[in-house]
Chain A
Amino acid sequence: MRHASKRRAVWREHLKPEFLKVNPLGKVPALRDGDFLVAERQPVDAVQLEQLLGKLTPALQHLDQEVLAARPFLATEQVSLADLMAFTELMQQGPSMGLELYLDLLSASCRAVYIFARKNSIPFDFQFVDLLKGHHHSKEYIEINPLRKLPSLKDGTFVLSESVAILFYLCRKYSAPSHWYPPDLHTRARVDEFMAWQHTAIQLPMNKILWIKLLIPMIAGEEVPAEKTEQVLAEVKNNLKLFEEKFLQEKMFITGDNISLADLVALVEMMQELEGQRGTRRRTQCFLVSRPGSWMPPPPAGLSGNCPEASKVSFQPKCLFSRAPDRWLCRAAPWLWPVAGNHNVFLSSSKLAEWRMRVELAIGSGLFWEAHDRLVKLVEWDCSTLDPMVKERICDLLQKFK
C-alpha cells in the first residue's frame, strides 16, 4: 500500500504549484525557452520542433558519419555502456513526427530515398511494402498511392510519389547540405538535366537487365530470347558511355568535387544492372586483387582467370577490408565479381569504377551496403513464396519480350 501511495504522489506532479507556473493548464507537454512558455502539443511541435531538431541533428550526424564510420559501435568494436545509453535515449524521439516512407529496397528509387534520408539523419518511419508479395497492389497501399508504385512519402496529410520529387522535397524541407542540390543556377540545371534523362536512359534499361537476366528466368523458368537481351545490353552500354562523356567527364562527381543527388540516383540504378548480371541463384564467388601494403586474402585457386579486367582497376581502399567479416568481402568489391555475359558496368571502365567507389565512400560503405542488402540477397530468394498475381504479371512480361 505504501508503494501505491508513492506512485500516486508521482502521478500528480503536473498539478503541483511548481509545474503550474510553467503550464497553468496543468498538462504535458510544455516547453520553456528562456522566458517563452508554450503548452499544447501542436504549437510545441510546430513552433519549436525545428529548433529542437536543429540541436539534435548535428550530433546525430557526427555519430553517423564520423564515429560509426570508423567502428561498428560507438566506443569500441563491441557493444558497451555508450551504445546502451545512446540507443535508449534515441528511442525517446519516438515516431518520426509524421514522416513515413513507403519503401522496398529492391527498388533503386527506394534505395536512393532511403540512403538520402539516413545520410542526412532525417527521422522517418520505414513502412515496408513488399514488392515480391504484391503488397503494392493492396487496398491499404492503393489509398496511399493509387499508381501502386514505390517509393511514396507521407508527411502528415501530404502524400507524394516519384523518387526525384521526394528527394527534392526532403532536401528542401530538411535543409540538407547544399552540395546535394546546389543553389547555383548552372550546377542545379546539370542535376535537373541528369534527373530528367535518367528515367528512360538509365533506370528503365537497368531494370530491364535485372528482369531479363535474373527475375524472369528465376520466376518463369524460361530465358528471354538472346536477341532481346543483346539489344538491351547494347542500349545500356551506349547510355553508360553517354553518362561518362556528358555527365561525369573528368570530374570527381557529376557536379564537380562533391556528391549530389544525381550521383546517388545514378549509382543505385546501376546496381540493378549489376545484380541482374549475377544471373544465377548460386552464390557468386569473389576474388580480390592483392596489392602491396593492404591486407587481402589471395584469390581462390582457379578464379583469377574469370575476370581479367579486374587487374586494370587500381583504386582499392583499405578501409573496406580492414574489419570486414567474409560476407563483407563478398560485397566489398562488386566491380571485381565475375559475371554472366562478360559484361559488368564497372569493369568496362575504370573511370566508372573509381566514380562508383567515391560515391560509396561519400555515402558511407555501411549505409550503402545496408541499403543494398535485400537486392544482394535476391539471388537466394525462394520464389515459391511469390504472390500468384505478381507471378502472372511476370509471365505476361516474358511474352512481351518474345
Chain B
Amino acid sequence: MVLELFLDLYSAPCRAIYIFTRKNSIPFEMHPVELAQGEHLKPEFLKVNPLGKVPALRDGDFLVAESMAILLYLSHKCQTEAHWYPPELQAHTRVDEYLAWQHTAIQLPATNVYLCKVSLPALSCLGRTQDPQSWKGPLEQLLGKLTPALQHLDQEVLAARPFLATEQVSLADLMAFTELMQPTAVGSRMEATLVLQPRDSQEAQWDPQLAQKDLPLPPGAESRCSAWPRPVPT
C-alpha cells in the first residue's frame, strides 16, 4: 500500500516532507489540503489528523502528524541515506537538538512574520486596514524574535561546521531551509537573509544536493506545483 501524504505546499514543514520524499524517491500519493479554504478543519481531514494541522501521513491504518515525526518515520522505514539522520549518537543528537529547538525559535516566529506580512493584511475581517504601514510595528516585533535565533545559527553554529548539525546535509538543514523560505519569499527585509546567501563552500554543496529537476511528480501534485507562488485569496 502506498504512503499518503496530506500537504499544503504553502506550509514550510509540508515542503520539507515533499522534498525529502521526492529526493529519496519514496513513492507516495499526495492529497492536497487547502489551508486557505479551511480544509484542515473539515471532518474528512480531522479523521486523518484530529489536531487539524498539516502535514499528516497515512500508511495503511497508521496515521501520524508533525513533520519531525513524519521525517524520522520515513527515514527509518525507507532506510534513506545515513547523512539525513546519522547513526552515530552525537551526530543524530545534534539533528534532534535542532529539530526540537526550531519549533519555537524558528518555526513559530517565521510563520508569524509570514502571516503578518501576507495573510493577515489580506483578511479585512480582522478589522485592520490594508495599509502596510499599520502592520509595520507588529512586523518589526516579530522579526525581533526571529533575528537572534538566526544570528545564533549564523555566528555560532555555521561558524563551526558547514551544515547545521553535521558535516553533511541532514533533516535539520532541510527543515531550516524550507522554514526560512517562508518570510524570505514574501520579501521580508531582514538581516537574517545573510543565512540564506550561500557561502563559497556551501554553494557547491547545496546545489547538487537539492536542485534536481528531473524527478517525476507524484500523483496529485501536478496542479499544485505549477501554481507556486499563488496570490493570497481576497
Q: Give chain A's interface residues, CB within 8 Å of chain B.
A: 146-147, 158, 160-165, 168-169, 172-173, 185-186, 188-190, 192-193, 195-197, 199-201, 204, 242, 245-246
Contacts and interface: CB of A to CB of B under 8 A. Distances in A.
B53 to A, nearest CB: 8
Nearest 5 A/B pairs, CB to CB: A192-B69, A196-B66, A199-B103, A193-B69, A165-B96
Nearest to A243: B51
Interface string B43-58: 0000000110000000
Nearest to B13: A196
B66 A193 contact: yes
B202 interface: no
Contacts of B65: 193, 197
B68 interface: yes
Contacts of A193: 64-66, 69
Given A189-B62, A189-B64, A192-B73, 8 more contacts: A146-B156, A160-B97, A161-B101, A164-B100, A185-B73, A189-B72, A195-B100, A197-B66
Interface string B105-132: 1001000000000000000000000000
A185 B108 CA distance: 28
Contacts of B90: 158
11 contacts: A146-B152, A160-B93, A160-B97, A162-B97, A164-B96, A165-B99, A192-B72, A192-B73, A195-B68, A195-B69, A197-B66
A196 B70 CA distance: 10
B67 to A, nearest CB: 7
A245 to B, nearest CB: 6
A153 to B, nearest CB: 9
A168 B51 contact: no
Interface string B62-103: 101111111011001100000000000110010011011101
Contacts of A168: 93, 96
Interface of B: 50-51, 62, 64-70, 72-73, 76-77, 89-90, 93, 96-97, 99-101, 103-105, 108, 152, 156
B89 A204 contact: no
A199 B68 CA distance: 12
A193 B68 CA distance: 7
A189 B3 CA distance: 15
Contacts of B97: 160-162, 165
B43 to A, nearest CB: 14
B152 A196 contact: no
Contact of B51 (A160, A164, A192, A246): A246
Residue from B66, B76, B99, B105 whose CB has the most chain A CB atoms within 10 Å: B66
A186 B104 CA distance: 26
B86 to A, nearest CB: 13
Contacts of B64: 189-190, 193
Given A146-B156, A185-B73, A189-B72, A165 B67 contact: no
Nearest to A192: B69
A169 B96 contact: yes
B89 A172 contact: yes
In this complex, the member of B62, B69, B73 whose beta carbon has the largest number of chain A beta carbons within 10 angstroms is: B69
A339 B5 CA distance: 44
A163 B104 CA distance: 13
A186 B156 CA distance: 36
A288 to B, nearest CB: 36
Contact of B68 (A169, A190, A196, A245): A196
Contact of B69 (A147, A162, A169, A189): A189
A200 B66 contact: no
Nearest to A162: B100
The residue among A146, A158, A165 with the most chain B CB atoms within 10 A of its own CB is A165
